[in-house]
Every structure is written in structure tokens, then in C-alpha cells.
Amino acid sequence: MKAKLLEIEAYTITETAKLLGYKSTKTIYRLLDRGVLNDYIWHEYPNKFGKKKVYLMQEPPNLPTLAEKIKANIQVRRNNIIRRSK
């Protein structure tokens, strides 16, 4: 049996905010602090300076997309980038 290659689209928090249309990373950091996005985090091994880089997976296997998860956990407001569909 041959192993399957799994490709995951993961971006930094800043890149994720830009992709989703946010002007700042504040909403994403709030959701991370509350533990809502723990299933979407992917860590890179520490670099030569000892820092670990955090990435967010856009479409993790067997889970809703990151945009859907954020949409389900934010308040509906007129100025929200991601709005609930009617």
C-alpha cells in the first residue's frame, strides 16, 4: 500500500487575516486566545533563534473551513467582512 500525500494550505496569522479580508489581526487573535481555532493551528519547528512559527490551516481534513469556523464564532454586525448567509 502506498502512502497518500496530504497537502495542507496554511498561512501565518497576518496572511490569514488578509486572505479573509480583515484590516487587522485582532479578531483572529481573540479567537485563538479563546481556544476556538485550536484545531486549525499548525506549528513549524523552532528556527535557529528558538522561535516557533504558528500557521493556520485554511481547509483542514475532516473539519469545516477556517472561514466557516470564524463565521460561526463572531457576532453578526454590519461591518463584518465575513457575514452569515441568509
User: Which residues on adjacent β-strands are paired with residue 42?
Assistant: 55
The 10s digit of each residue's pLDDT in 35-67 is 999 999 988 877 777 778 889 999 988 899 998
Work out the average pLDDT over 20-33.
Answer: 91
The domain ranges of the chain are: 10-72
**CA nearest to 39, candidates 14, 64, 22, 15:** 64
List Cα–Cα distances, 65 to 22, 51, 56, 59, 71, in angstroms.
17, 27, 11, 5, 10
- Which phi-psi region, left, alpha or beta, contains residue 28 (left: φ > 0; alpha: ψ -120 to 50)? alpha
- Give me the residue label for grid cell 480583515: 22
